[in-house]
Amino acid sequence: MKRPIIFLFLLGWICLPVFAQENSFLENLEIGVDYKQGMVVKHDKYMGHLSKGITRGFEIDILRRTTGKTEWQRLANYPDVGLSIVFFNYPTDILGESWGINYVTDYYLIRKKRFQSTFRLGLGLGFHTNPYHKETNNKNITYGSPVTFSIQSKLNLKYNIYKNISLHGGLAFQHFSMADIKRPNKGLNVFTTDVGLTMLLNKNDQFIQATEEEKNYSRKVRYNILFNAFFASYRSADQKKYPVYSLSLFAQKPVGRLFDLTMGIDFFNNYVLKDVMKDDSSLDPALPLPDHKKIGFAMGTEYHMNKMAIAFSIGYYVYKPYDFYSDLYQRYALKYYFSDKVFINGGFKTHGADAENAELGIGYRF
């Protein structure tokens, strides 16, 4: 798996001078390389055999510094956007190696002439050499597929040491998971310390300023309806898929030009729980099975990026006849607005570090 990707990187560096004459392409293009060292986090009692030893890797960033060409860039303090390619070599052959390719946004916390601090959010895909296999690798309970979702965050400090070259370091968090689409799915969390160099090409500090009209926003409450549907797995042995549905009704209150607060009710129908109850020896077989459906009350926030938005909410079950997951749940989603009213939604629902299911749906904002 490594050789084709390394070849692509070498080809890219060889071809970079060819594009050097295209000023628009290289303007504010930032290339960074990091060395990573850290550990796999034991977030589950059954993962002790996977969290021993030091995890090492590297990261290559291809970013562009924004200058305010869109309204979101101006209001978000001109973040850096681009791709991050990360590699991990784990201390155990059970996990093997992982690659992650993420679309990332670096938000500036401090922006001085020679010193900057940024916070990164990234989302993409992970690729793994040694996923679970019931015969050859049944101790890898982190993910049951060679391809997973990838979530990345990083707090970074950067200091300019010479012209367009900067030294940087920080703390990074990487998460790989299948959101229970395929089992096993304990997920994998990696914390690392990073250090590296960054080179900025064709620097342009001509920022377009936000207008007063752009800074103003409507404080009107909007009402939303969202329907999600997907599937989930229960047993690693048969990988049978079960339908999962949810319906959400929530109010949306702007508290800034880019931020909204949300509050509403969620209705959940996860058919995995029907088979879970059939296997539960603590239930009286003479009595009918409890209702597998759940209702929750949730509050959250939504952050807008042009036509896209990142949504997070935390909820509490007010109706849960069968006690399988914890009472608190979290939902993470990425939205795309086709218009002011119609949007699509993709994300996943968890209970702490325990993912329940992925979500894909469509919504309407009144």
CA atoms within 13 A on the CB side of 161: 10
Q: Which domains does the chain have, with CATH numbers?
A: 25-201 (2.40.160.20), 213-365 (2.40.160.20)
pLDDT digits (tens, 9 = 90+) for 44-58: 777 878 888 999 999
pLDDT digits (tens, 9 = 90+) for 108-158: 999 998 999 999 999 999 999 999 988 888 888 888 889 999 999 999 999
Distances (CA, A) of 325 to 30, 42, 178, 320: 44, 20, 18, 9
Q: How are beta strands 188-201 and 29-40 bridged, if at all?
A: antiparallel
Distances (CA, A) of 184 to 143, 151, 267, 297, 310: 6, 19, 26, 29, 27
Query: What does pTM read for this prediction?
Result: 0.84
Run of H or E residues at 57: strand 55-65
Per-residue pLDDT of the chain (366 residues; tens, 9 = 90+): 454 455 445 445 444 544 444 457 788 999 999 999 999 998 877 787 888 899 999 999 999 999 999 999 999 999 999 999 999 999 999 999 999 999 999 999 999 989 999 999 999 999 999 999 888 888 888 888 899 999 999 999 999 999 899 999 999 999 998 887 887 888 899 999 999 999 999 888 888 998 888 888 888 999 999 999 998 887 665 668 889 999 999 999 999 889 999 999 999 999 989 888 988 888 888 888 899 999 999 999 999 998 999 999 999 999 999 988 899 999 999 999 999 999 999 999 998 877 888 999 999 999
d(CA 7, CA 1): 11
